[in-house]
Copies of this chain bind each other. A is one copy, B any other.
Amino acid sequence: MSNFTPSREFLYNAWYVAGWASDLAAGDRVGRTFLEQPIVLFRTEVGEVGALEDRCCHRAMQLSHGQVCGNQIRCTYHGLEFGRNGICTRIPAQDKVPATARVRSYPIVEQDSLLWIWMGDPALADENLIPRHPIHSDPRFAWRSAHFAVNGNWQLLVENLMDLSHLPYIHPKTIGGNPELHFKTKTETTRLPNGVRVVRRMPSSTPPPTYVAARGFEGLVDRWQEIEFEPVLIRIHTGACDAGTGAYDGNRDHGFSMIGFHGITPETATTTHYFWSISTNALQNGIPDLVYQQTADTFREDQEVLELQQERINADPDRIMIDIASDVGARQAKQLIRRLIREEQDREIENAA
């Protein structure tokens, strides 16, 4: 039994997905809230990305309603301009810019078609630790992406993705399939140094219709479902090869492969940015679009569930919940999150002492 309290606590010292690189053309800006902090993301006219507090230091106007001019973003109210480092470079009708004229800036990096932001102590922001997703630039794969705004706590989304036993109930129309088949499949859960891995394999099984359409399987297949959590994203590998052709040894190029990327970024304690993509190596006949559409339909069903859960949790946040057998992976992911948050807080207390 576990007491799941979606708390106001966030993990700050982590790289979070802030958006898709394609969200921002040169000269664009957009306002988003991460971990309860309003941020303006912008791309300068030469293409560099910036992330500043979305509140002008003068009169609290939202910079995300301003304009990018050159390498600066200009507040639309009185025209103050700020660079990517948050320092004000110009105050109209005033010669001197005081040192106090600045807004908080956040480390932000563009990599693998994603924007990554660091919400914690900037001194700890090591770009080498940004999670990789090279599949986004692998020519053997096609991918599509989306950004869902979920009215639920971010850990509800982690739970949802770490335990696919909900598939037959929530998603009977798309990827659900036979409940009994799901339950008979053995699930192996492994703790990683900074993550959790859940593996389910269905050797010599009948391929689902989508798989046949995508890859033209004629007989039995070796299927896999592999889920990897690291703070704070989840990758889900699913697919199949003709039975006995080495899928479980890593030879999968000849099979059908789908790779889901799930960037999970808390907006507030009860709302979450869900940045996801789905990649596939079946490039013909509109399969990538079909896979995207089915995935989007499926995730909308999940979103609805999370929001219904959140309503009940809001009404009684400290209520005990029971765990069931299929919760193992989700439970381990949440334990890891709790540990990391605790360590972060301990470190802060230590530093303050």
From A58-66, A127-135, A337-345, the one touching the partner chain is A58-66
Partner of A61, one of B74, B75, B308, B319: B308
Known interface pairs A61-B305, A321-B60; A312-B55 also in contact (CB < 8 Å): yes
Interface size on A, residues (CB 8 A): 52
Q: Which residues of B contact A61 (CB under 8 A)?
A: 305, 308-309, 312
Asked if B58 and A321 make an inter-chain contact with CB atoms under 8 angstroms apart, the answer reads yes
Q: Which residues of B contact A54 (CB under 8 A)?
A: 312
A170 proximal to B (CB < 8 A): yes
Known interface pairs A77-B305, A78-B324, A165-B92; A59-B159 also in contact (CB < 8 Å): yes
A269 proximal to B (CB < 8 A): no
Asked if A77 and B166 make an inter-chain contact with CB atoms under 8 angstroms apart, the answer reads yes
Partner of A79, one of B168, B308, B313: B168
Q: Which positions 28-82 of chain A face chain B at CB distance < 8 Å?
A: 38, 54-55, 57-62, 65, 74-80
A346 proximal to B (CB < 8 A): no
Q: How far is the CB of A288 from chain B (nearest CB, A)?
A: 29
Known interface pairs A58-B321, A100-B322; A165-B78 also in contact (CB < 8 Å): yes
A179 proximal to B (CB < 8 A): yes
Asked if B78 and A166 make an inter-chain contact with CB atoms under 8 angstroms apart, the answer reads yes
Asked if A93 and B309 make an inter-chain contact with CB atoms under 8 angstroms apart, the answer reads no
A1 proximal to B (CB < 8 A): yes
Asked if A76 and B325 make an inter-chain contact with CB atoms under 8 angstroms apart, the answer reads no
Q: Which residues of B contact A183 (CB under 8 A)?
A: 92-93
Known interface pairs A38-B315, A305-B77, A308-B65; A58-B322 also in contact (CB < 8 Å): yes
Q: Which residues of B contact A159 (CB under 8 A)?
A: 59
Which residue of chain B is the closest to A326 with respect to CB atoms? B93
Which residue of chain B is the closest to A315 with respect to CB atoms? B38
A94 proximal to B (CB < 8 A): yes
Q: Which residues of B contact A208 (CB under 8 A)?
A: none
Asked if B169 and A78 make an inter-chain contact with CB atoms under 8 angstroms apart, the answer reads yes
| Residue of A1, A76, A163, A169 with most partner-chain B CB within 10 A | A169
New contact pairs (19) apart from A60-B309, A61-B305, CB-CB < 8 Å: A4-B59, A38-B315, A58-B323, A59-B321, A62-B308, A65-B308, A75-B169, A77-B170, A78-B165, A78-B169, A79-B179, A91-B325, A92-B165, A93-B165, A93-B182, A94-B324, A98-B322, A100-B322, A101-B322
